[in-house]
């Protein structure tokens, strides 16, 4: 049968041959294209796994603690603040250093005394409270991002479950109590709260408000340390001792509540 070109008297031309395409077997294609991706995905999952993140958190905290031991921030009480920094700029730098030191387990009473001795009562209190909230926020974020997924499945003991439930359901009230009545270390409260389901805002608000009385007492004591018989120093010491005593009494009375849950 002739095509249209032949019937019209034209010359029929053959279509150029289509070059054959080399086909790669499906199994080989799948192997070579997905193997690197699979290895990369496995490595990513391993690095981002809960226990890998917890290991990173432990490494960071150990490194921070070792750094504090090397630099010895308690020398601030004896040597003072660098003379190049003074006024508001110095208090801002001190607040940042304060927050980082609390993450590295430096006791807050020591830092509060240093703030009062270096900046006086008012400026020292502002720097200490800012550093307190900053350090608590850093610790809470580290614990929430790097430690929560690995540690929550381990909350199986009765006391641990009770503490987790209290922090998760009554976060603001529980954190206010922990800040107002000393007894729970600052860093321990931060990381325990980060493992619970407490929100950011209640945690930071309770930390800022609940830390005012105790922080103010230590700052005033540091500012008045040169006159230990002054009324301000004696009142500050009373505010330090009374909450500690009240916290011990409340903890002693609450121990039966946790045992029964």
Q: What is the pLDDT of residue 1?
A: 46
| pLDDT of 107 | 87
Distance, in Å, from the CA atom of 75 to the CA atom of 106, rounded to the nearest integer, reads 12
Q: Helix, strand, or coil here: 177?
A: helix
Nearest 10 degrees: CA dihedral of 249, 253, 259, 261? Answer: -120
**Residues of the chain predicted below pLDDT 70:** 1-37, 39-51, 53-54, 72-86, 147-164, 247, 250-251, 253-261
Q: State the pLDDT at residue 251.
A: 67
pLDDT for position 133: 96
What per-residue confidence (pLDDT) applies to 163?
65
What's the confidence (pLDDT) of residue 162?
64
Report how far residue 210's alpha carbon sits from residue 212's, in angstroms, rounded to the nearest whole number: 6
pTM over 0.85: no
Please check whether residue 246 is in contact with residue 181, taking contact to mean a CB–CB distance below 8 angstroms: yes
Give, in order, the Cα–Cα distances in Å from 130 to each of 110, 134, 214.
16, 6, 14
Token pair for 145: 């991002």
Q: How many CB atoms lie within 10 A of CB 255?
A: 11
The pLDDT of residue 252: 72
């Amino acid at each position: 049968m002739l095509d249209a070109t032949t019937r019209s008297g034209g010359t029929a031309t053959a279509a150029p041959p289509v070059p054959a395409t080399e086909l790669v077997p499906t199994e080989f294609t799948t192997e070579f294209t997905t193997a690197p991706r699979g290895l990369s995905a496995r490595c990513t999952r391993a690095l981002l796994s809960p226990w890998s993140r917890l290991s990173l958190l432990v490494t960071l905290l150990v490194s921070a603690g070792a750094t504090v031991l090397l630099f010895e921030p308690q020398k601030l009480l004896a040597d003072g603040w660098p003379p190049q920094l003074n006024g508001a700029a110095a208090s801002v730098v001190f607040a940042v250093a304060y927050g980082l030191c609390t993450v590295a387990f430096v006791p807050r009473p020591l830092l509060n005394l240093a703030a009062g001795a270096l900046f006086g009562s008012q400026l020292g209190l502002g720097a200490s409270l800012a550093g307190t909230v900053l350090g608590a926020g850093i610790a809470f974020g580290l614990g929430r991002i790097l430690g929560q997924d690995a540690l929550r499945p381990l909350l199986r003991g009765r006391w641990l479950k009770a503490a987790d439930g209290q922090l998760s359901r009554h976060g603001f009230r529980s954190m206010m109590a922990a800040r107002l009545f000393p007894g729970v270390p600052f860093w321990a409260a931060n990381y325990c709260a980060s493992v619970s389901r407490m929100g950011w805002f209640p945690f930071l608000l309770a930390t800022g408000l609940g830390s005012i009385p105790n922080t103010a007492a230590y700052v005033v004591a540091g500012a008045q340390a040169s006159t230990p018989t002054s009324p301000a120093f004696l009142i500050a010491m009373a505010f330090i001792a009374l909450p500690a005593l009240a916290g011990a009494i409340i903890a002693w009375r609450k121990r039966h509540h946790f045992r029964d849950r």
